[in-house]
Amino acid sequence: MKRTDYEPVPLSPSGEGPGMGAVGMRDAGSTGPTPTPPLKRRGYGARFLLMVASMGIVGAAAVAQGPPPAPKPETLSSRPGATGGEALYLQHCAMCHGPNGMGTGLLGRRVQPALLEERDNLPAQYVILAARQGIGNMPAIPRGEVSDADLKQIADYLAAGPHEVSQ
């Protein structure tokens, strides 16, 4: 009797077979109304066309090119001529303070210009303090990462700004 009780047990997992079949059926059923995805695509296309039409002022050529490319990151390799404080700045700060960096983005909400290199109002002591203590969303930069001598060079470079930043 118990064995017969056991027999139905392996049957119940096999009962998933029909379940799978049902899924298959559902899939087969859903392939019926396949016209919906193409319809959605058409809707998107129409929206895109509307967008393009509404942006006529910008000019069809400009719109066809899509959004403007993100600014290129400033790195040592993008400025091979950089030396001293500028090179150290590119190495340690530009990943956040470059044209597309989060430092630039956040500073843009309270100071202009947002690029540190374009500022004419950054005293070296302020730069050093901001870097060592951290400021707002900027983490403190420890001596193990940037030595005092290197940070001084960076601070002097920024204090001597504004610098021409080629983009």
Cβ closest to ligand HEC, residue 63 vs residue 130: 130
What is the dihedral sign for C-alpha 82, 84, 95, 102? negative
| Residues 145, 149, 155: CA angle, nearest 5 degrees | 90
Q: Other CB atoms closer than 10 Å to residue 107's CB: what's the count?
A: 22
User: Contacting ligand HEC (CB under 6 A), which of 137, 140, 147, 148?
Assistant: 137
Which is nearest to 92 in space by CA: 105, 77, 76?
76
**In terms of CB distance, is 30 or 137 closer to ligand HEC?**
137
Please answer whether residues 124 and 160 qualify as being in contact, where contact means their C-beta atoms are separated by less than 8 angstroms: no
Applying CB under 6 A, which of residues 115, 124, 131, 159 lies at the interface with ligand HEC?
131
133 is a contact residue toward ligand HEC (CB under 6 A) = no
**Binders of ligand HEC among 45-74, rule CB under 6 A?**
none
Among 17, 19, 123, 139, binds ligand HEC (CB under 6 A): 139
Q: How far is the CB of 80 from ligand HEC (least distance, A)?
A: 20
Q: How far apart are CA 72 and CA 27, in angstroms?
A: 46
Cα 25 from Cα 4, distance rounded (Å): 31
Query: Which chain residues interact with ligand HEC by CB under 6 A?
Result: 92-93, 95-97, 102-103, 106-107, 111, 116, 122, 126-127, 130-131, 135-139, 141, 146, 154
